[in-house]
Amino acid sequence: MKKLLFTFVLICLFAACSRQAEKHTVTFLVFGAPEEYAAYEQLVAAFEAEHPEIDIQLGHIPSQSEYRQRLATDFSGGQPPDVMLINYRRFASFASQGGLEPLGPYLDKSKIIQASDFYEQTIDAFEWGGQLWCIPQNISSLVVYYNKDLFDAAAVPYPAPGWTRDDFLAAARALTKDLDGDGVIDQYGASIDPNLFRLAPFVWQNGGDIVDDRERPTRLTLDSPESLAAFQWLVDLRLKEGVTPDAVAESAEDSETRFLNGRLAMIFDSRRATPTFRTITGFTWDIAPLPRGERESGILHSDAYCMANLTKDKEAAWTFIEYANSAPGQTIIAQTGRTVPSLVAVAQSAAFLDPTKLPASSQVFLDTIPVLGQVPIMTTWVAIEETAGKEVERAYYGQATVAEAAATAAAMTQEYFDQANARR
């Protein structure tokens, strides 16, 4: 009897050890503000409750630029995270070097999610070289966040559907104020990051483009009449109208902080700003679509769950990606305010369109989907965008004319277009 009991104990211990050995570990790296990180903590907790056999090790880097540097370092060092979030403008450089696992075959076999469940624009954004590389989590756009209390105090009407650039400028002028009469602006009407990605939708609104061919671009076209006009409009906000902070003011207090503190009436940003802005208690805010030019146009903001090619346990990593992009997974992130869900059903549900949570006008994000434009998918796009962005910034802060900046941007980015086309 004792021998049988001893044998039974050994069997139980062996079974317990086996179960422990079967525990799968997946590393997952994200970026963003503390409020964004909390959203992914909720996602991981829900996933592990449903899949106790998989341990998700969540890593977090607050700064986007540091996050991108970390990914580049980890991939070049052969130790990337198993799963990471990558923007559609940046995944091609990793995929071209063999760093990513194509996820199209996994999606084709999934019984939980299908490509047809997603907004088509998001799936298209992560296709390159005939393959789907990552599974998109969101379909945000650039919008205008605005402080309703400042609009009320100045008796300025809220942005209405279809508002124009002239409407926007009139509001920005009325809301830019020297409150104490010392000759220094204390409250700015608007703020927009001066870079190529922010400039692009205004070029498209003019009927132009930032490249010569969206599918096979060979050069930057900021020197076209349509592009130059949009570029000048952006620069005039700072240099001619003075409705946006100058370099000194921006250095003293960045625009996001200025908006949080109630000293900025309007700020251009994507959905990712929402969790941070929901911490505001001193005033009420909402969102509006981009002010339109000759036509309506927005710009796609989309991040996706990507898997490293070096991931050892690919099935466990896919199980997490699959869950994160299922209706339950996307609902969790949507309820935190972090995303405009890429799943059509979740985007159109109360999880996203919750009338009790700001912004009250979340429907704006969905209404702009049909007019969203997309920058090219290129292995060298990151370098192109960063190089051109420096020239946009120089013009914006008065260090070069628009024509000079456009010409310099075209000249300095040409090598990157040539490199990308040489690899085709």
pLDDT at 6 over 70: no
- Residue 17 binned pLDDT confidence (cut-offs 50, 70, 90): very low
Question: What is the residue type of 149?
Answer: D
Beta strands 135-136 and 140-141: pairing type? unpaired
Give the tens place of pLDDT for each residue, 345-364. Answer: 999 999 999 989 999 999 99
Report field, pTM of the whole predicted structure over 0.85: yes
Q: Are 368 and 167 in contact (CB under 8 A)?
A: no
DSSP SS3 for 114: coil
- Residue 210 binned pLDDT confidence (cut-offs 50, 70, 90): very high
Report the CATH number of the 24-139+302-373 domain. 3.40.190.10
Asked whether the CA dihedral 120, 124, 130, 135 is positive or negative, the reply is negative
Q: Are 85 and 303 in contact (CB under 8 A)?
A: yes
pLDDT at 118: 98
- Residue 33 binned pLDDT confidence (cut-offs 50, 70, 90): confident
DSSP E strand boundaries for 12-141: 24-31, 54-61, 83-87, 127-128, 131-132, 135-136, 140-141
Question: What is the residue type of 349?
Answer: S
Give the tens place of pLDDT for each residue, 110-145. Answer: 999 999 999 999 999 999 999 999 999 999 999 999
pLDDT at 15 over 50: no
pLDDT at 271: 96
Q: Which range is least confidently modeled, 9-18, 62-71, 166-175, 247-256?
A: 9-18
**Rounded to whole angstroms, how far apart are CA atoms 321 and 315?**
10
**Rounded to whole angstroms, how far apart are CA atoms 323 and 328?**
7
**DSSP letter at 156?**
P
Q: Are 29 and 311 in contact (CB under 8 A)?
A: no
Instruction: Please give the backbone phi and psi of residue 109, each rounded to the nearest 5 degrees, phi first.
Output: -90, -10
Instruction: Please give the backbone phi and psi of residue 260, each rounded to the nearest 5 degrees, phi first.
Output: -60, -35
Instruction: Parse the chain into domains and list their residue ranges.
Output: 24-139+302-373, 141-298+376-422
One fold for 24-139+302-373 and 141-298+376-422 = yes
Topology at the third CATH level for domain 141-298+376-422: D-Maltodextrin-Binding Protein; domain 2 (3.40.190)
The end-to-end CA distance of the chain, in Å, is 73
**Rounded to whole angstroms, how far apart are CA atoms 30 and 74?**
14
Instruction: Please give the backbone phi and psi of residue 138, each rounded to the nearest 5 degrees, phi first.
Output: -150, 165
